Amino acid sequence: MNPVKGNLLIFYYDLRQSFLIFWSILGFLLLVTFFINMNWPEGDFFFFINFPVYIYLAITAFISLKNYYPFSMGMGSTRRNFQRSMISGFIALAALSALTLNIAMRISERLSDAWGLNIGFTSLGQIDTVPNQFISVFWLDFTICLFLMAITYAIACLHYRYGHLITYLSIAVIIMILIIPGVNDLLNQLIEGFWQDNALWYFSSLILIACVFFGAAALIMRKAPLQSATGK
């Protein structure tokens, strides 16, 4: 079997259960919100459906390295094939999550309107400057999901290879650079661009940034041992 395909199958079978459990819990919380609003119609309810998804994906990307890297290497996979497998898996998971998120959002909105409920559903993928079309919202959510997974995966690689101290120092250095007045002003301008008329292009740039983080992760793990630097 192709090593990349084998790693992807392991990734799929291992995450399938957690993915279904996560969405089952989120769906249950949606139903609870519907039930509460039915019994308290004068209340205003807001359901931030996207944030739990982003958190789930970030955690999944962070723990995936420790879960799969030693096993994959032990099964004879190369580091290059492992990285290709993980990136491909993250892209597929981000796309599936964005698709499921948008379907759940639209179904929830229609049910809320049909039942006359007073529930507001919000998502970062729904921006006034971007047409509220399925493909546009899907693309925005996909870029956000992949971007977050790339960041947390790169941090996980740094932590796995060099341990706690180097990871914390690296994060501290990045934060210090970002708060430098000139850099901070540039960062604020970039963030404001996500809510401008060309927001779709700004969100698309997150894909390029994600590629940078994935590339950094691959370099960090280029000669990484099977055992984590933390010894766990």
pLDDT at residue number 223? 78
176 contacts 114 by C-beta, under 8 angstroms: no
If you ran DSSP here, which 8-state letter would residue 121 be given? E
What the block records as the tokens of 215 is 């590339």
What the block records as the tokens of 222 is 């280029």
Q: Within 13 Å and on the Cβ side, how many CA atoms surround 186? A: 7
SS3 122: strand
d(CA 12, CA 6): 10
SS3 109: helix
Q: Is the dihedral of CA 73, 79, 84, 87 positive or negative?
A: positive
Q: What per-residue string of b and e applies to 141-164 under the rule 16 or more CB within 10 Å gives b?
A: bbbbbbbbbbbbbbbbbbbbbbee
Domain boundaries, the chain: 3-220
Q: Side chain identity at 170, as an amino acid letter?
A: S
d(CA 228, CA 209): 26
Spell out the per-residue pLDDT of the chain, length 232, in tens: 576 777 788 888 888 889 999 999 988 988 888 888 777 766 666 777 888 899 999 999 999 888 888 888 877 788 888 888 999 999 999 999 999 988 888 888 788 777 777 766 666 655 655 566 778 888 888 999 999 999 999 999 988 888 877 778 888 877 787 677 776 676 666 666 666 666 777 788 889 999 999 999 999 988 777 665 555 5
Q: Which residues pair with 45 in a beta bridge?
A: 119
Cβ–Cβ contacts within 10 Å for residue 49, how many?
Answer: 19
pLDDT at residue number 193? 61
